[in-house]
Amino acid sequence: MSAFKTPSRRRVRSEVKTPLTPSLASALNGVTLDSPVKRSSSSIPVTDAFQRQASSGVIRKGGVESRIDVVVLDYVPPPISKPAEVKRSRSTPAIKNVADRDRFITSREHNLETLDPMALNTKSASPGHTARLVEATGVPLNRRILGYHLPPPTASSDTTLALQREFARPLYANRPGSLATSTGSTTNKTRKISTQPERVLDAPGLVDDFYLNLVSWSSLNCVAVSLDTSTYIWKADTGAVVQMGEAPSGTYVSSVNFSADGAFLGIGLGTGEVELWDVERGVKLRTMAGHQAQIAVLSWYSHLLSSGCGDGSVWHHDVRVPRHKVMELLGHNGEVCGLQWRKDGELIASGGNDNVVNIWDGRVGDTPVGGDTVATGNAKWTKRNHTAAVKALAWSPWQPNLLASGGGTNDATINVWNSTTGARLHTVTTPSQITSLHFSPHKKELLSTHGYPTNAIGVWSYPSLEKVAEIRDAHDSRVLYSAISPGGDMVVTGAGDESLKFWRIWDTTSETKKTKTARLEGATRSGVLSLR
């Protein structure tokens, strides 16, 4: 402690007499700068002599230094340094004593003043510097300062990990506007919708596959749902469940769709066949074969049943004639998973796994006479704005030229198109994959269902495309299938959590609401019903 420190003080004083202090050097510099003439005449010999003197430690009188006369002026040992030194050395071991320490800190300020010139000495290894550091840190010198021999590890900046995180980001994306503790329902001020389903139906075996379309709701108020190999009709009016037969062994149902009048049900199979069923009698009318891959989507217009196939083709089947395939639409490189006829049959929109949206003329061309060839159509518009598979397609019921399309996980964007001009009218980006879209029949609103991470049902106003309401975590897993009720107030959603949920999204007039609730009270207050 003091044995260590005192020499440092001595050295400070001794430096006053030695010529090599930094202050002297700087003073010398100042002189040479002040009189450049003198320097030019005698710079080399003076420096030489100076160095010799310096190395010998003796300064001759009459040398440059004495002429400069700065040595004495620079380093005057301050009178207060001595008592301060005494205090310091005494206080060092007594660190435990708070009073001593306080005095020690006060005296430090004195010391700092006097020792300030020492800061010029950049050789930090000198004891004087150490002493100063000791003061600055308030640590006595009889201690050892130890550090671990290894440097701390650098922050992990694994590039592959960063890349993986980037890829996984859509799945773990922040749920905007949600608190960590939120149960997951946010509703806009402007309108409140019930975040609880009106009814839950158990749907064991409902396939969790984005590309399929397994739920349909007919104009006769029947809901068709396919559970792996079997299709069931749930009659919303009575709550009765009817099975619509099984898919042939070795395959599964990949799509269902009701005809506009609700009397017929088209069922697409994994092997490429399209079956036609009579809903009322529950019998299969015919099987229309020809496709070589899974039928992921079906859409009806009048007597035409159109099927979207895994090979990227869309066929129009005329269900009335034996040779059912009347037209072929070739415009996708990937599986067609979205297909929607416009109500008037003028246009049909298709979306595929190749991220393309096509809008086709709905008129069926004349079938060439003879042979197996059929008329082929050309896309009226081809839209490549989406960056993921397009499954969600919806035509507006109140403005015929509006088509909404929604992309998958990497896209998660809803685009609204004008089918007449081909213009993209609106775009809104959502937090998650869009699995289906519906326009409300009665309101200027758009409904979307979403996959990870929100598993939400969203309602958007049109044309502003502002979020009107949202039901977060509508299902336990991604919401995949949805259908809108004939009344236009209810929406049924199906998801990989093997349940169907019925939501009241749009309240129609209070009258119909009353009757609806009454009907629900009568039929299904029993809670969860099983379809099987």
Partner 1 sequence: MPPTKQTTRQAITLKGSTALVTEFFKYAVNTILFQREVYPSDDFHMVKKYGQVVLVTQDLALENYLEKILKQVQKWILTGSVTQLVLVILAKETRTALERWVFDIKLVEPVGGEPGESSSKPETEIQSEIRAILKQIVSMVTFLPVMQEEKVFNILAYTSDSADVPVGEWIDTDPLAIEAGKSQQVKLRSFSTDIHRIEAMVAYRYEE
Q: For the window 152-191, what string marks contact with partner 1 as x by the rule CB under 8 A? A: xxxxx-----------------------------------
Q: How far is the CB of 153 from partner 1 (least distance, A)?
A: 4
The single residue listed with the structure tokens 């050295």 is 11
Is 530 a binding residue for partner 1 by CB under 8 A? The answer is no
* Of positions 33, 37, 58, 150, contacts partner 1 by CB under 8 A: 150
DSSP secondary structure of 195-239? SS-SEEEE-TT----TT-B-EEE-TTSEEEEEETTEEEEEETTT-
Rounded to whole angstroms, the Cα distance separating 92 from 87 reads 9
From the list 7-15, 69-77, 137-145, 236-244, the region that binds partner 1 by CB under 8 A is 137-145
- Binders of partner 1 in range 92-111 (CB under 8 A): 95-96, 108
Rounded to whole angstroms, the Cα distance separating 484 from 223 reads 10
Q: How far is the CB of 26 from partner 1 (least distance, A)?
A: 19
- Supply φ then ψ for residue 506, to 5 degrees: -115, 120
From the list 134-142, 214-222, 312-320, 508-516, the region that binds partner 1 by CB under 8 A is 134-142
Q: How far is the CB of 245 from partner 1 (least distance, A)?
A: 52
Torsion on CA atoms 70, 72, 74, 75, rounded to nearest 10? 160
With CA atoms as reference, report the closest residue to 223 among 32, 525, 485: 485
Is 149 a binding residue for partner 1 by CB under 8 A? The answer is yes
Q: Which is nearer to partner 1, 96 or 189 (CB)?
A: 96
Q: For the window 2-41, what string marks contact with partner 1 as x by the rule CB under 8 A? A: ----------------------------------------
Q: Which is nearer to partner 1, 137 or 526 (CB)?
A: 137
Rounded to whole angstroms, the Cα distance separating 213 from 255 reads 5
* Of positions 20, 25, 73, 133, contacts partner 1 by CB under 8 A: 133
Q: How far is the CB of 154 from partner 1 (least distance, A)?
A: 8
Q: Which is nearer to partner 1, 161 or 283 (CB)?
A: 161
Apex 510 CA angle, 506 and 513, nearest 5: 65
Rounded to whole angstroms, the Cα distance separating 27 from 312 reads 88
Give the strand pairing for 241-246 and 253-258.
unpaired
* Of positions 137, 159, 160, 181, contacts partner 1 by CB under 8 A: 137
Q: Which is nearer to partner 1, 147 or 322 (CB)?
A: 147
With CA atoms as reference, report the closest residue to 391 among 331, 456, 449, 465: 449
User: Angle 22-34/36-56 helices, nearest 10 degrees?
Assistant: 160
Is 146 a binding residue for partner 1 by CB under 8 A? The answer is yes
Quote the DSSP letter at residue 489. S
Q: How far is the CB of 254 from partner 1 (least distance, A)?
A: 40
Q: How far is the CB of 101 from partner 1 (least distance, A)?
A: 10
Q: How far is the CB of 486 from partner 1 (least distance, A)?
A: 49
* Of positions 144, 189, 281, 320, contacts partner 1 by CB under 8 A: 144
Are 71 and 65 in contact, with CB atoms under 8 Å apart? yes
Q: How far is the CB of 267 from partner 1 (least distance, A)?
A: 48
From the list 80-88, 127-135, 244-252, 298-306, the region that binds partner 1 by CB under 8 A is 127-135
- Binders of partner 1 in range 222-261 (CB under 8 A): none
From the list 78-86, 143-151, 328-336, 372-380, the region that binds partner 1 by CB under 8 A is 143-151
Q: Which is nearer to partner 1, 129 or 235 (CB)?
A: 129
Rounded to whole angstroms, the Cα distance separating 130 from 110 reads 17
SS3 174: coil
With CA atoms as reference, report the closest residue to 531 among 505, 492, 503: 492
Quote the DSSP letter at residue 363. P
- Supply φ then ψ for residue 458, to 5 degrees: -115, 145
Q: Which is nearer to partner 1, 55 or 122 (CB)?
A: 122
Q: How far is the CB of 115 from partner 1 (least distance, A)?
A: 9
Are 142 and 92 in contact, with CB atoms under 8 Å apart? yes
| Cα of 521 vs its chain's centroid, Å | 41
Residues forming contacts to partner 1 in the complex (CB under 8 A) are 95-96, 108, 112, 119, 132-137, 139, 142-156
